[in-house]
Structure 1
Amino acid sequence: MNFRIIAYIVGWVCNFQAMFMVLPCITALIYQEHEFFAFLISMIVCLIVGLPLTIRKPKNKVFYTKDGCVAVALSWFALCISGAVPFVLSGAIPHPIDAFFETVSGFTTTGSSILTDVEVLPHCILIWRSFTHWIGGMGVLVFLLSLLPLAGGYHMNLMKAESPGPSVSKLVPKVQQTAKILYTIYIGMTLFQIILLLIGRIPLFDTLCISFGTAGTGGFGIVNDSMGSYSTYCQVVTTIFMILFGVNFSAYYLLLTKKFVQAFKFEEVRYYFGIILAAILVIGLNTAHLFRNLGEAFQQAAFQVGSIITTTGFSSTDFSQWPSLSKTILVLLMFVGACAGSTGGGIKVSRILILCKAAKKEFQLYLHPNAVKKIKMDEKTIGHDIIRSTNIYLSVYLLILAASVLIISLDNFDLITNFTAVTATLNNIGPGLEIVGPMGNFSSFSYLSKCVLIFDMLAGRLEIFPLMLLFFKGTWKKF
């Protein structure tokens, strides 16, 4: 284990965190809010920790996959702990575990909240909550790679550990250039949404918070009804961008480089849009009697389907009051999630496709034992290592899900609340059903349950393996 380079990376994350807090500081000055000092103190603390760790570059630049996983996991802990400090110092969320829950929910783009009334919070706290979504959406280590060259050719081990999906590939030969391309697309799409919302006469502050939450597929609202009180125009724009941010960013790169045929052959993306359209159609027809007309039913269905499958977590209506069929479809979409290589969470459409293709292959082998069958996606053969990692991921995922539901059941809430609370946090979605529904929150859970759900949020965002490696003794051995 190369502890020096891990400390170097964590130090840079702390430095960047101080830079990120400039936005809420400016907001506090604009609105003349005394919470400015909470952020200022937090920035100073981040720099006190970060600067000594980054003054000198490590001599040993050997950086393996194990080091990448540990660096990513520890960086996210540093990011979330330092991000929780302003909540505690300002008194917005005085208890450290509650503050940590809210911050982890923000950076992991989950959107689950322990707050019962967000409208009483100062503007700087609200924009910080939403900005954590944007920071965590593409990944802070990806952002670091785009600005900070790490000599030695080991950049890919960081990107693999943080980027979602069964496999991660470079868009161009150099990893740093790949990171820059990803963030250029990310920033460009965010700015485009901001412009469209401003055209719809949405206030600038609201526009920024909504766009940060949409881009990061997070879902923290700045009003108590999430997106319910905003105009239909705002909801439609947000629906479109939620779905777009759930697309594999490699498809956007292919479009930008005018490789249109390759982009439209992206199998995962085609199935992603197919699932969305089918879900909207069924839910729209199933809930038509709850709305004034069929058009409104489909618009609300599209918003909620887009919000859930991309794991954004915004809500425009109380879907916990919808018919059982519609609620069941939404719960299933929680597990499916968005595309790999997007800002969305969940198991990912690509993993679902791999599992289905692997199952089909097994059935065919039962019929034709001597046949040689290969699993392909986008006309490329999927390696056994990817199939194996997908199977292991699903196995560990189900174990974490079962164990988490068992532990939080000690709080004696109903099964639907417990199951959807774990599902919503492990898949980085936000709202569940019943007590943790779109009009509810997670404040009723005990601190033990909140710690379990914090673990679930981090495990979901980091794709389980980087976080789990921290608990293995062999991880901490030196070379």
Structure 2
Amino acid sequence: MKNLNFKIILSFLGLTSLMNGAFMLVAAPFSWYHQESEFSGIVLAGITTMILGGLLWLFNRTDNKHLGKKEGYIIVTFGWLMLSFTGTLPYVFTGAIPSFTDAFFETISGYSTTGSSILTDIESMPKGILFWRSATHWIGGMGIIVLTIAILPLLGIGGMQLFMAEAPGPSADKMHPRITETAKRLWGIYFMLTIIEFFLLKIAGMTWFDAINHAMATMSTGGFSTKNASIAHYNANPLIQYIIISFMFIAGANFVLTYFALKGKISRVFKSEEFRYYFFGSLGVILLITFFIVNHQDPNLITSIHHPKVWGATESAFRHAAFSVVSVVTTTGFVSADFTMWSAMATTVMFSLFFIGGSAGSTSGGVKIVRHIVMIKSSFYEFKKLLHPNAIIPVRYDGGSVPKTIIYNILSFFVLYMLIFIVSSIILSLFGLDFESAIGATASSLGNIGPAIGSVSPVDNFSHLSIPAKWFCSFLMLIGRLELFTVLILLTPFFWKKN
């Protein structure tokens, strides 16, 4: 094994920082337009980040363009850390979030598209800072790593290793043989859908500022809102909530399927086994939760979650069930109602969705539906093997046979995911959280979901956590966003050995 190419690693981190600084400067006009004193702090943060990135890139240029798997894993993990540490500067320089721990928590929650927050009064925050907060979602949604590899050929660097390490899901399903073209098309779809949702939300009644922020948070499956009550602020406007439900669902689907749908190949969408489970599974749970709300819920609560001018209790129950289910399954984290105040059975079903996740190749977090499909089929395969030990019975997915290596990888991922969940829940309980809050905060952070149960429910936030607990949750957000292996492999001694 050759030595690591540290120059190309540092050079790439420099490019990442340059882009991050440029996005910060995009937030400055929002602050200037509203005549906020934080304008200068945002500009200073952007310039500082770009200078840091420029220096890293300038002093680490090299003719050795080799980029192996190890460099790919290091770049993705440290690239995310670079984004998160420099992303705190607008908060710190403006004094909007004076505590560095809180600023880092809010920042990595944004880039990891978790949506957990320490802010207690969001509506009092400066507009420029709120835009930057939403922008961290949008950047992290598809991954600034994927964006950057689209320009790597200009530098003579191949990007396949980075895409394989960063692309959401257990595999990078390619719609085009050239990885840079794939990255460009993914970002093109991402940008276009964000603009479409922005216009629809504006037409439905949002202000232009709220519309752009919520569009960025929706398409990234992030969940940061500009309102203290999140989307519950718009309970009197069902159209806004139905628009957000629709785009959350789209964002939680494989973007390659979205590409085919936009080309008119709808049949290819429903041929996807994962999409069928995603669509019909979500619909089934929505109807189940609606039934729980209507038939087993306190009538006073049904009244409280719908506006008297709206269509009625049944529509309201369906809308809030649909909103909550899609928000949790896609790991968006927007809130239209406090699902922990529904019946115990409904709350239990909602919490179980924390471990599902959206589709592979989407911006959502979590375990991912395709992994559950393969694990379930693999379990039935073992039952059949008990009856027919000599039979060759392959696990099939989308009409093809799933290689054993992928099955083992998926099973290893799930075992590791649940092990981390159990151990992390214990650790957070040691940091002072009660049982319900500890498992809620762990499931939320690891799955990049946002609101959970206990003291971090949809009507609460993470501000009351101790400093160690906030840093630990930040770590869980990072490994959850990068699908465990990408980060944890760096902690193994054999990764750094020469062989």
| TM-score bracket for this pair, using the shorter chain length | over 0.9
**Equivalent of 2:138, from 123, 134, 138?**
134
Instruction: Report the Cα distance in structure 2 between the residues aligned to 1:229 and 1:257, rounded to whole angstroms.
Output: 36
Which of 23, 36, 51 is residue 26 of structure 2 equivalent to? 23
Partner of 1:205: 209
Gap change, CA 1:124 and 1:391, over 3 Å in 2: same
Kindly provide the CA deviation profile for residues 450-470 of structure 1, in whole angstroms up to 9, marking residues without a partner as x.
111001000110001111122
1:137 Cα offset (Å): 0.4
Q: Equivalent residues in 2 for 1:255-270 (5 A)?
A: 255-270=261-276
Q: What's the CA shift for 1:478?
A: 6.1
1:276 corresponds in structure 2 to 282
Q: Write the distance in 2 (CA, Å) between the matches of 1:387 and 1:166.
A: 11
Partner of 2:309: none
SS of the aligned residue for 1:149 comes to: helix
Q: Which moved more, 1:62-71 or 1:363-372?
A: 62-71
What is aligned with 1:242? Answer: 248
1:365 aligns to 2:385 (yes or no): yes
1:181 has 2:185 as partner = yes
- 1: CA distance between counterparts of 2:272 and 2:460? 38
Residues in 1 aligned to 2:9 and 2:24: alpha-carbon distance in whole angstroms: 23
Question: Aligned partners of 1:249, 1:383: CA distance in 2, in Å?
Answer: 24
SS at match of 2:162: helix
Partner of 1:291: 302
Kindly indicate whether the alpha-carbon contact (under 8 Å) linking 1:167 and 1:386 is maintained by their aligned counterparts in 2: no
Matched, 1:336 2:356: yes
1:13-92 correspondence runs (5 A): 13-55=16-58, 57-92=61-96
Q: In 1, are the aligned partners of 2:173 and 2:361 still within 8 Å (CA)?
A: no
For residue 230 of structure 2, give the secondary structure of its aligned residue in structure 1: coil
CA distance in 2, matches of 1:380, 1:152: 36
- Alignment partners' CA distance in 2, 1:22 and 1:298: 41
Shift of 1:151: 5.9
1:462 maps to 482
Is the CA contact (8 Å cut-off) linking 1:62 and 1:152 kept in structure 2?
A: no
Please name the residue that 1:100 is paired with. 104
Separation in 2, partners of 1:345, 1:223: 23
CA shift, 1:445, in A, is 1.2
Q: How do 1:418-457 and structure 2 match up within 5 A? A: 418-457=438-477
1:70–1:469 contact (8 Å) kept in structure 2: no
AA aligned opposite 2:159: H
The Cα shift of 1:70 comes to 0.8
Per the alignment, residue 303 of structure 1 pairs with 323
**Cα drift, residue 472 of structure 1:** 2.4
Aligned to 2:166: 162
Cα distance in 2, alignment partners of residues 404 and 262 from structure 1:
40
The aligned amino acid for 2:70 is K
The alignment's TM-score, normalised by the length of structure 1, stands at: 0.97
Verify: 1:408 aligned to 2:414, yes or no.
no
Q: CA deviation at 1:376?
A: 1.5
Determine if contact 1:2/1:478 at 8 Å carries over to the other structure.
Answer: no
The alignment's TM-score, normalised by the length of structure 2, stands at: 0.93
| Kept after mapping to 2: 8 A contact 1:111/1:218 | yes
Deviates further, 188-197 or 61-70:
61-70
Residues 477/307 of structure 1: CA separation in 2 closer, same or farther (3 Å cut): same
2:346 maps to a residue whose letter is S
Shift of 1:150: 6.1
Residue identity opposite 1:475 in structure 2: F
Kept after mapping to 1: 8 A contact 2:431/2:468:
no
Cα-to-partner distance string for 1:236-273 (whole Å, 9 max, x where unaligned): 11111111110001112222344333222000011001
C-alpha distance in 1 between matches for 2:378 and 2:8 = 39
Secondary structure (helix, strand or coil) at the match of 2:188 reads helix
Shift in Å at residue 473 of structure 1? 3.1
Output the CA distance in 1 between the equivalents of 2:343 and 2:462. Answer: 23
The superposition leaves residues 396-437 of structure 1 with CA deviations (integer Å, 9 ceiling, x where unpaired) of 212221221111102333211110110001000000112100
Provide structure 1 residue ranges, at least 5 long, that are not aligned to the other structure: none
User: How far 1:388 moved relative to its partner?
Assistant: 1.6
Q: Is the 8 A contact 2:172 2:361 kept in 1?
A: yes
Deviation at 1:350, TM superposition (A): 0.4
Instruction: Give me the whole-angstrom Cα distance separating, in 2, the residues matched to 1:264 and 1:326.
Output: 29
**Offset of residue 23 of structure 1:** 2.0
Q: CA-to-partner distance for each residue in 1:272-300, whole Å, 9 max, x for gaps? A: 01111011101001012442411110011
The reply to whether residue 2 of structure 1 matches residue 22 of structure 2 is no
Q: Give distance in 2, aligned partners of 1:260 and 1:199.
A: 27
- Does structure 1 conserve the Cα–Cα contact (< 8 Å) formed by 2:339 and 2:350? no
Kindly provide the amino acid, as one letter, of the partner of residue 334 in structure 2.
F
- Alignment identity in percent? 40
Gaps of 5+ in 2: 304-312
Partner letter of residue 432 of structure 1?
A
Q: Which residue of 1 aligns with 2:116?
A: 112
Q: Distance in 2 between matches of 1:321 and 1:313?
A: 16
Shift of 1:19: 0.8
- Structure 1 residues 283-318: Cα deviation after superposition (integer angstroms, max 9, x where no partner): 001012442411110011001011110000000112
Q: Distance in 1 between matches of 2:204 and 2:326?
A: 20
User: What is the rounded CA distance, in whole Å, between the counterparts of 1:153 and 1:43 in structure 2?
Assistant: 26
What does residue range 376-415 of structure 1 map to in structure 2 within 5 Å? 376-415=396-435
SS at match of 2:35: coil
Question: In the alignment, is the contact (CA less than 8 A) between 1:337 and 1:346 conserved in 2?
Answer: yes
SS in 2 for 1:180: helix
**Distance in 2 between the 1:162 and 1:436 partners?**
29
Specify which of 438, 459, 474 is matched with residue 494 of structure 2. 474
Of stretches 283-292 and 216-225 in structure 1, the one that deviates more from structure 2 is 283-292
The alpha-carbon deviation at position 153 of structure 1 amounts to: 6.7
